[in-house]
Amino acid sequence: MTGDVTSSATSTTPQFAAETVPTGEFVRQGNRFTGRICRASTSRPGEGPDDENRWPVEAGRYRLVVSLACPWAHRAVIVRRLLGLEEAISLAIVDPIRDERGWRFTLDVGDRDPVLGIGFLSEAYLRTDPDYTGRVTVPAIVDTVTGRVVTNDYPQITLDLSSEWTDHHAAGAPALLPDDPARRAEMDALIADIFRDVNNGVYRCGFATSQAAYDVAFDALFARLDVLSERLASRRYLMGAAITEVDVRLFTTLVRFDAAYHGHFKCNRHQLTELPVLWAYARDLFQTPGIGETVDFDHIKRHYYATHEAINPTRIVPRGPDLSGWSAPHGRDGC
């Protein structure tokens, strides 16, 4: 705590004013599009959603739009790769630098996505809901038949990749969701704690506009990291001997920690590299086939430092940190 700062009033311009409450706390917007691609859909191939907003599972029909900088999108990129869904669901990657119109396809020839034919993800949002005024977010799954957004519900997207696309999983794909109800409940509770205090917690630190809001988020973040360190001291992964969904969700925050959150979001009690258990655990995941190759530190750094002008008005991108340690032996094989 910063003892000589007592005011809790918002005193700076928020990065996202619509998601910042008067006490200075960042409150993330909800997900506007919550359709699901489900085996239980009663729609026929090529049709839209059924009466329960369930779209049919069709290989080659849907396009996953992501930013390699975004931790929420990164989850879907990893799960898609681990499950071997690259041929079933195509991937579109937006520029890590947003302008006032949002995520843009300026990495593609002609500054347009070659499949969807749009220059900005906002075009698909507005085609789906012409009255939409919220932030345009990734990941989003877009239907290539209609150009409509099926979902931007990032927590559900990865769960459905595991449970609804099983006919298209690669042979030997990992089971990221426990079958046992008790273990699933245990994992879901972990996911909730990690989302609140870590995944979203770093944003609550970084986008806070009052000292009080920042202090609460900071304390919760590092208290949770301490709990996770203790849990991982006696097991290789969060649920035991195998990687599950909750590991993917924690990893996408940890891999950005020193490159972005420690400095940019003021999450600076420790660097990840100073937390021995979590640092070894993160390296273990990074070195797992299907995970490390999805990490793009250049996109990560340029996005955070060059698009949050309320936090970094100069938009200078730091040259550090040293990333060579990610390939160092992790020593967790025997956990």
CA distance readout (Å), 311 to 80, 86, 256, 263, 304: 32, 36, 17, 11, 9
Nearest-angstrom CA–CA distance, 179 and 283: 27
Q: What's the sign of the alpha-carbon dihedral 13, 18, 19, 23?
A: positive
- Over pLDDT 90: what percentage of the chain? 88
- Where, residue-wise, is CATH 1.20.1050.10 in the chain? 181-327
Determine the 3-state secondary structure of 167 from DSSP: helix
> How confident is the prediction along the chain (335 residues), in pLDDT tens digits per residue?
444 444 444 447 888 877 788 999 887 877 889 999 999 999 999 999 999 999 999 999 999 999 999 999 999 999 999 999 999 999 999 999 988 889 999 999 999 999 999 999 999 999 999 999 999 999 999 999 999 999 999 999 999 999 999 999 999 999 999 999 999 999 999 999 999 999 999 999 999 999 999 999 999 999 999 999 999 999 999 999 999 999 999 999 999 999 999 999 999 999 999 999 999 999 999 999 999 999 999 999 999 999 999 999 999 999 999 999 999 999 999 77
Domain 181-327 is in which class? Answer: mainly alpha
Nearest-angstrom CA–CA distance, 158 and 149: 16
Q: How far is CA 137 from the centre of its chain?
A: 10
- Which of 76, 101, 134 has its CA nearest to residue 294? 76
CA distance readout (Å), 127 to 5, 30, 100, 102: 47, 19, 19, 15
Nearest-angstrom CA–CA distance, 106 and 218: 35
pTM attached to this predicted model:
0.94
pLDDT of residue 3: 43
pLDDT of residue 192: 98
- Where, residue-wise, is CATH 3.40.30.10 in the chain? 36-168
Nearest-angstrom CA–CA distance, 203 and 114: 32
Active site residue 70: yes
- Which of 196, 199, 298 has its CA nearest to residue 257? 199
Strands 36-38, 62-66: pairing is unpaired
Q: How far is CA 264 from the centre of its chain?
A: 17
pLDDT of residue 129: 97
CA distance readout (Å), 242 to 107, 174, 175: 36, 8, 9
Which residue reads 């979902």 in tokens? Answer: 151
Backbone angles phi, psi at 93, to 5 degrees: -115, 125
Nearest-angstrom CA–CA distance, 201 and 207: 10
Do residues 159 and 176 touch, judged by C-beta distance below 8 A? no
Which of 62, 125, 203, 237 is catalytic? The answer is: 203
pLDDT of residue 28: 83
CATH number belonging to domain 36-168: 3.40.30.10
- Which of 69, 47, 74 has its CA nearest to residue 58? 47
Which of 38, 70, 205, 267 is catalytic? The answer is: 70
Terminal-to-terminal C-alpha distance of the chain: 35
Active site residue 38: no
Read off the pLDDT of residues 17-58 as tens digits, 9 standing for 90 and up. Answer: 777 889 998 878 778 899 999 999 999 999 999 999 999 999
Q: Which long-range contacts (CB under 8 A, 24 or more apart) does 14-22 make?
A: 14/207, 14/209, 14/310, 15/207, 15/308, 15/309, 15/310, 15/311, 16/135, 16/207, 18/134, 18/135, 19/135, 19/207, 20/207, 20/209
CA angle 212, 133, 36 (to 5 degrees): 95
* Run of H or E including 302: helix 297-307
pLDDT of residue 20: 80
